[in-house]
Structure 1
Amino acid sequence: MTRPTSRDVATAAGVSQATVSLVLGDKWRGRVSERTADLVRQTATTLGYRPNLAARNLRLGTTRTALLVVPALTNEFFARVYTGAARIAAEHGFGVVLYPSPDGTGPARDPFASARAALDGVIASSMAADTLHAIGGDALPLVMLDSDPAAGGSAHVNLAVADGMRQVVHHLESHGHRRFLHLASAIDSWTFDVRRRALTTHLDPHTELRTVRAPLSVDAARTTMEAALATPGPRPTAVVCDDDILAAGACKAARRLGLRIPDDLSVTGFDDLALATAVEPELTTIHLPAERIGEQGMTALLAVLEGTPWTAPDLPVKLVVRDSSGPAPTS
């Protein structure tokens, strides 16, 4: 069976090949009526027409491919970011290659012989701009997600993580908590720094705060929490965790020490991963719209590629109250 061509589509639709190229190349607005564009798309679908992407990309000097760089594949948050980015990319005839940086948040290596030749742009989630020089340097458009707005990059898409921590503080203090333990991530990154600063900023001046740091794993968090809770002196009544993974470890530590959650100790997380509802009691946490940040990241990259300035407010986040938090113990 002969593969249909753009000429076949033009003949069947009763339009010129130039019109077909404009419509299927998504450049018809202002040049072709919406009715004609719909007719061309319907005709192409009926005939089973598929554009020769390799030839088109060679002609246009573009690959219609974006690289999404993430610190790790083991965290479900980044899988959701990819899902959102890939959804928007597909709507515009782009593909997204997911690339976990081999060294986590450290310098990322170029995954191709030359990223500049293989990519149209880079989206980096929770990475620092200076860790991406080997991939594209200043030659490729770079959209930074959940990253320092003052750092380099063509555009930024961020979450309102500081407001998320404000919501956590308000929730716990409204339940009478005045002795806090911050189980902070040992990863040195902008997003965790923002959470730490927001926590100290929004605490009541009479609220006690102690901070301990742990690697981002359940076992490391459990070990760190067991040591922190065994420290002499008044025990904290609330544990604020930088991440749901750390919160799961905090809950395990509390149970091993015979503490009841939330009767003896309230625990909060951050991210609202699937893990948040897999533990008992289910975690009070901050929901981060991971797919939405992926969608906006890809939208921002498309805007940059078209030469359109990109600005957008931080994406709102929301406190989800579950059973791991409650009133402070009275004694």
Structure 2
Amino acid sequence: MTAVTKRQPRIELSTSALQHNFKRVRKVAPHSKVVCMVKADAYGHGIEFALNALQDTDAFGVACISEARQIRQLGYKQPVTLIEGVFSPAEWIEASQQQFECVVHQQQQVQWALAHPHTYQKNNLKIWLKLNSGMNRLGLQPDELLTAALKLRAAGFELVLTMHFANADVPDHPLNQQQIQTFLHLKQQLEPIEASCCNSAAIFNWPELHFNYVRPGIMLYGASPYDNIIANKLDLRPVMHLKSNLIAIQHVNVEQVIGYGSRFTTTRPTRLGIVAIGYGDGYPRALTHGAYVSIQGHEAPLLGRVSMDLLAVDLTDLPTSIHIGDEVTLWGDNPSVDLIAKHNNTIGYELLCRLTQRVKRISLNAEGNILIKSN
């Protein structure tokens, strides 16, 4: 029996898995430069950990300038693309000085670029000119983009034509072909021009669209970009394993209720395990029937509601060798984060990003030794 000396929900982060997934991108898109997306604290994995593992990338992608600053503060010199661009003339000037490449997706950003071209051009930075090809989130309409491209080229800027798929995870969705045709038409009108339109799912779907840059995100972290294809079928390895420990075992009779709201009632004598993790740590509360954890390689179904700090699992059919102190895997190899997300009516991206600072981070190097430890 393992003694429990403190509450210890934790995530273990695998450098070797992240590097494997990066090499998978290189294999699938061998002729394109790779812009590794590390926004949102590297999808909840920790920016320092991710940058260390991804040193062989061609560039990094982030949402905004505050995230880009972290990359420079940590000493990394690779190009950084701000996928939401800048939010003021002052940010444009800072981006120019710090050698951050900017996505330009609206007219005000075009004007900031035209008003302050010199440092940006001196540092050989490219403007990523974003097309609204049908997702209707960010980007210039086709006619607006053509006008902006002519003005920016006349001012001496080098351009990358870019867009984002709304339904790359559903390859047969009719909007995909509409977006592709709109993009290809604009690309033809602007030739010669560099181009980028592939996120994780699109990297797998359309090798003919890899162009100059691909932008992997979720696939780097070992989760699937699809609803109906699991990650290991894509030869992706989970980078994050969320773990905790059993801190109590209850023996409960028939017709006893478990947890807040008394939502679950036992139908048999039940050996109940209590795990030290809950929604206060970022584990989802709104789970549907069928979610489970792994203990000693055995699947233990969740029972009742997840609370802020604890959850209950059914040990009745598991070996009696399972005791207080045993390690519990909430997601990782089994169950996957995608499976838990499906039981929460969401996607793996959200669960990875919403873990709280209460959870200890343990980063493991390629040999499996501790590289960084937080909390």
TM range (shorter): under 0.3
TM-score, normalised to structure 2, is: 0.23
What is the TM-score normalised by the length of structure 1? 0.25
**Normalized per residue, which structure has more strand?**
2
Larger Cα Rg: Structure 1 or Structure 2?
A: 1
